[in-house]
Amino acid sequence: MLVSDFAYELPQELIARYPAAERDASRLMLLDRRTGSLSGTRFSEIVSMLSPGDLMVLNDTRVLAARVLGARPTGGRVELFLVSRLPGPAELWECLVKGSKRFRPGQQILLPAGAVATVIDKQPGDVWLVRFDCPEPFEDWLEREGHIPLPPYLHRADEPLDRDRYQTVFAREAGAVAAPTAGLHFTGELLQKIADRGVGISWITLHTGPGTFQPVRVERVEDHRIHAERYLLPESTADAISAARRRGGRVIAVGTTSARTLEYCADGQGGVVAGSGLADIFIRPGYDFRVVDGLVTNFHLPESTLLMLVSAFAGRDFVLEAYRQAVRDGYRFYSYGDAMMIV
C-alpha cells in the first residue's frame, strides 16, 4: 500500500486558519458505513445521532505552551520545543532545539523572566536533553512565557484566542503539544445535553507528540514507524466500556487519539485493559477494530497517518469520496476546521 494512495486535492482557502465563532457551530458530516450515505448538519446536532446507552470516550489532555523563545549569551535567537518531561525533581525535558548555529553539551540559553536552559546531551533523532532553571515554579513560568505550538500549516504565530480555542473545554492533564482537535467542537452545554440523553461520557489521556505534525517520509505505508505517545486509560473508563457492551450501546471515540488509545488497550473481547504507558499503535487499512464502534474526527492532512486511521475505520474509497464531497461543499479542514462522525 502506497502513501500516495491517501492523497487528495485541497484548495488552500479551505484550510481553517482560525476557529469558528462558536465551538459547536462547526459543520458536521455524517458517514454511514452500513448504507454508504453522506449527509451534513451542524456539530451542535450531534446529540440526535447518539442513542441512550452509547458511550463517548474523550481525551482530556491539555496542550502545553511548549514553544519557548530564547537567546544565546552571545546573541542569536533560539527556539525550544518541549516534547516530554523526564521523571525526577529536576526540570529535565526532551526538546527540539532550533538556532542559527550548532549546539553543544553545557551550552546555556537565556530565557524570559530570568530563566535559563542548559543543553545537556544529544538524544536519538533530532532531540536534545535540556534542563530548565527558573526563579519560580516551572509550570507557572511556562504557562506565562511559553507559546501555544500551533500546527505549521496555519502559517501564523499563536494569538491570545489560541490560549482558549486550541484547548478543549475539558482539558485537564497537561502534556500534549497538539490538541485532540475533534474535542474542540464540544461545549459544556453540549456535553450536558449528551449526558441528559442517556449517553455515557468517559475519559482517556493521550499526550499528543510532535510526530503528529511530521509528514510520512516513506513510499510504502508499511515502512512507516509511528511515534510513541504517553497514555492513561483509567479503570473507570474500562468499566464504562464493559457496561456499554452489556447494554448493547456503541463505543464512540472522539478523535483519533481516543481511538488509538482504546485499540492499543483492547483486551480482544470488546473491552479494554486499564493502564498507562507508551502507545505506538499504527492503525491503517486492514486493521480490525476491536473496541471502537463510531468515530468523531476532523478532516486530516493528505497522506497522513490520521487519514490512514480514518480510512481503516470506514474504508479508503468511502473516506476519500467524503473528502472530495467536503471540498465541493466548502467544508473547513484541519485542526480548526469542521468534523465528521462515522457510524
pLDDT, mean over the chain = 95
Q: What is the pTM of this model?
A: 0.94
Q: How confident is the model at residue 244 (pLDDT cuts 50, 70, 90)?
A: very high
Q: Which three cell numbers stand for residue 152?
A: 505549521
Q: What is the pLDDT of residue 99?
A: 87
pLDDT at 90 over 70: yes
Q: Name the DSSP class of 258.
A: H
DSSP string, 3-61: GGGG-----GGGB-SS--SSGGGSEEEEEETTTTEEEEEEGGGGGGG--TT-EEEEE-E
Domains of the chain and CATH, by start:
3-63+162-342 (3.40.1780.10), 67-146 (2.40.10.240)
pLDDT at 2 over 70: yes
Q: What is the average per-residue pLDDT within 37-49?
A: 97
- Percent of the chain scored above 90 by pLDDT? 91
Contact call for residues 23 and 334 (beta carbons, < 8 A): no
CA 255 to CA 184: how far, in whole Å?
10
Ranges 7-11, 72-76, 107-111, 244-248: which has the least confidence: 72-76
Render pLDDT for 180-202 as a digit per residue (tens, 0 to 9). Answer: 999 999 999 999 999 999 999 99
End-to-end CA, the chain: 25
Q: What is the average per-residue pLDDT within 269-298?
A: 97
Q: How confident is the model at residue 124 (pLDDT cuts 50, 70, 90)?
A: confident
CA 251 to CA 62: how far, in whole Å?
23
Contact call for residues 164 and 137 (beta carbons, < 8 A): no
Residue 118 backbone dihedrals phi, psi, to 5 degrees: -120, 125
